[in-house]
Amino acid sequence: MISPEVKSKYQLVVGLEVHAQLHTETKIFSGDSNSFGDSPNTNVSVISLGHPGVMPKLNRKAVEYAIRMGLACNCQISEYQFFDRKNYFYPDLPKGYQITQDKTPICVGGEVPVYYGDGIHSKVVLNRIHLEEDAGKSIHLDGEKDTLIDLNRAGVPLIEIVTEPVIHTAEEAGAFLAEVRRIVRYLGICDGNMEEGSLRCDANVSVRPVDSAELGKKVELKNMNSIKSVIRAIEHEMERQIDLIEDGEEILSETRTFDVNTGRSSGMRTKEELNDYRYFPEPDLSPIHVTEAWLHEIRDTQPTLPSEFREKFQTDFGLSLYDAEVLTDRKELAYFFDSFCEKTTNYKAAANWTMGPIKSYLNEHGKEIDELEIGVSRLAEVIDLVDQNVVSFSAASQQLLPYLFKHPHVQAKEAAHALNIIQESDSDSIQPMIDEVLAANPDKVKAYQNGKKGLIGMFMGELMKKTQGKVDPKVANKLLRDSLEL
């Protein structure tokens, strides 16, 4: 573990390469099913197996999805593109080459806004987003000599999102990856499941003295299957490189794999050992022409993005950044909350109910927000009852809401009457009960009048017990203080 003083002498520089499997029905150049979890080597055909003489055919939906991602990241969409062959020889790449976009990426430039830490905001600049096909999957089982190959993934459409080397903390890298995951989920183009490999991330990491503009030697990190792993791997690699520099040793420009169990990385291959990919234009695919009409059609049907919801929730609804972040973490939650706020003007209460009692109910019953039985109009009625002191928040969250989940068509006030939780706010009705509480605790009354003002909580508790919580606490508290001061 290096000291903070030593670490402060260096700046971390990170560039990320994020692969997102596009959620199309079929693969990018064939009609094979694009489905996760099927039996090995069942979603294959002569095209995905690379048989001689077969011809690929481009999946239009994959191109549309790539454009949607580019628009979401404020990229420039290339009007004309062609595909390239990237030649390398792995056992899970049947053709011996990958069809990708090298010279003409579909999306150029762009940026992704991220928040991390204590509300720190940055914009991670992108180099490009390009389309390509995925390779198959090699499976190495412990104790086995042989490697198993599953080619179901071969030919699955990918976009690769490549940042510029502008990320300077592991936390910022994690926040960027989390925002990319939100965006692809909001767009509906990828499920963003890192554990299943539909979203994968490689990190190019280097360090340099804080007063230097020259980049240090780059190390590529692979095999990170969660955002937490990406953060841990980058932090480990930063410290490893600083240790080497401080000890006067050379940093090798290499590819390293990260072990989530040990939290350490190990070398796979040096950059000198990498293949020369020998890119050249793919002769079997026609160039792509993205017309202005098609681009307008896609742009006009873009869904609301997480950054747009965050802005709306803070600007229009007056929420904090923290609340806006929580409420936009998932697409369904953001849309639910947005519709909730169409039915009430107490936006903060709507946020608290959504993140509190409603979320607790969903977690307890294993439901998603779009499976909620009750409509937002009914929930707005609950907020109104609490705001008007007709029902206490405690009674509303613990009794009224569960009742309405089971009887979603009953109006909230009708349900409150049925549960007998309407608060008593009439002073003439509350005062006799206060008198009874005070008469039963003369010693405590005397102690209060002698300066122990904290006893007001005890008196309120006794009153709530006596009334089963059905008195308006504001009215009761005032009457109680007035009675004690006599």
Q: What is the dihedral of CA 385, 387, 389, 395, to 10 degrees?
A: 60
Q: Residue 476 above 80 pLDDT?
A: no
Note every long-range contact of 122-128, with CB atoms under 8 Å and residues 24 or more positions apart, other chains counting: 122/172, 124/163, 124/164, 124/166, 124/167, 124/172, 124/176, 125/163, 125/164, 125/166, 126/73, 126/75, 126/161, 126/162, 126/163, 126/164, 127/15, 127/162, 127/163, 127/164, 128/75, 128/162
Distances (CA, A) of 298 to 19, 77, 126, 303, 310: 22, 12, 21, 10, 23
CA distance 7 to 422: 61
Strands 219-224 and 254-259: parallel
| Angle (deg, nearest 10), helices 170-187 and 227-246 | 150
Q: Residue 337 above 80 pLDDT?
A: yes
Is 440 inside any structural domain? yes
pLDDT at 261: 87
Is 335 inside any structural domain? no
The pLDDT tens digits of the residues spanning 277-295 come to: 899 999 999 999 999 999 9
What are the structure tokens assigned to 71, written together? Answer: 């628009």
CA distance 431 to 275: 87
CATH number, domain of 450, equals 1.10.10.410
95 class by beta-carbon count within 10 Å (0-12 exposed, 13-18 middle, 19+ buried): buried
**Poorest-pLDDT segment among 143-152, 233-242, 406-415, 425-434:** 425-434
Is 398 inside any structural domain? no
pLDDT at 486: 67
E-assigned strands of 210-261? 219-224, 254-259
Which residue, of 294, 311, 334, is where some domain finishes? 294
User: Nearest to residue 32, comparing CAs of 188, 136, 138, 185?
Assistant: 136
CA distance 118 to 104: 39
**What's the mean pLDDT in 333-338?**
97
Which residue, of 294, 322, 349, is where some domain finishes? 294
Q: Residue 482 above 90 pLDDT?
A: no
51 class by beta-carbon count within 10 Å (0-12 exposed, 13-18 middle, 19+ buried): exposed
Q: Residue 7 above 60 pLDDT?
A: yes
pLDDT at 424: 64
What are the structure tokens assigned to 283, written together? Answer: 């002769």
What are the structure tokens assigned to 414, written together? Answer: 């009708």
Give φ, ψ of 325 to 5 degrees. -65, -45
Residue % of the chain over a pLDDT of 70: 97
The pLDDT tens digits of the residues spanning 232-246 come to: 999 999 999 999 999
What are the structure tokens assigned to 333, written together? Answer: 């939650």
Whether 266 contacts 256, CB under 8 Å: yes
* Per-residue H/E/C for 309-347: HHHHHHHCCCCCHHHHHHHCCCHHHHHHHHHHCCCCCCH
User: Which range marks the domain in which residue 103 is found?
Assistant: 4-294
Is 8 inside any structural domain? yes
pLDDT at 481: 81
Is 367 inside any structural domain? no
The pLDDT tens digits of the residues spanning 219-235 come to: 999 878 899 999 999 99
Task: Fill in the DSSP letter of residue 391.
Answer: S
Is 359 inside any structural domain? no
Distances (CA, A) of 193 to 74, 199, 226: 24, 6, 9
Whether 73 contacts 62, CB under 8 Å: no
pLDDT at 274: 55
Bridge partners of residue 162, in order along the sequence: 17, 128
Q: Name the amino acid, one letter, at 239.
A: E
Q: Residue 316 above 60 pLDDT?
A: yes
What are the structure tokens assigned to 282, written together? Answer: 């793919």
User: Nearest to residue 327, comparing CAs of 351, 294, 359, 307?
Assistant: 351
pTM score > 0.75 for this model? yes
What does pLDDT average to over the chain?
91
Q: Residue 271 above 70 pLDDT?
A: no
Q: Residue 251 above 70 pLDDT?
A: yes
The pLDDT tens digits of the residues spanning 79-131 come to: 999 999 999 888 889 999 999 999 999 999 999 999 998 888 999 999 999 99
Asked if 284 and 431 sit in the same domain, the reply is no
pLDDT at 428: 60
pLDDT at 136: 94
CA distance 446 to 33: 80
What total of structural domains would you count in the chain?
A: 2
State which of 171-175, 194-198, 264-268 shows the largest mean pLDDT: 171-175
Is 318 inside any structural domain? no
Whether 407 contacts 401, CB under 8 Å: no
Residue 274 DSSP SS3? coil
Which residue, of 275, 294, 313, is where some domain finishes? 294
Is 464 inside any structural domain? yes
The pLDDT tens digits of the residues spanning 416-462 come to: 999 988 876 656 666 777 777 788 888 777 777 877 887 787 877 77
pLDDT at 159: 98
Whether 22 contacts 159, CB under 8 Å: yes
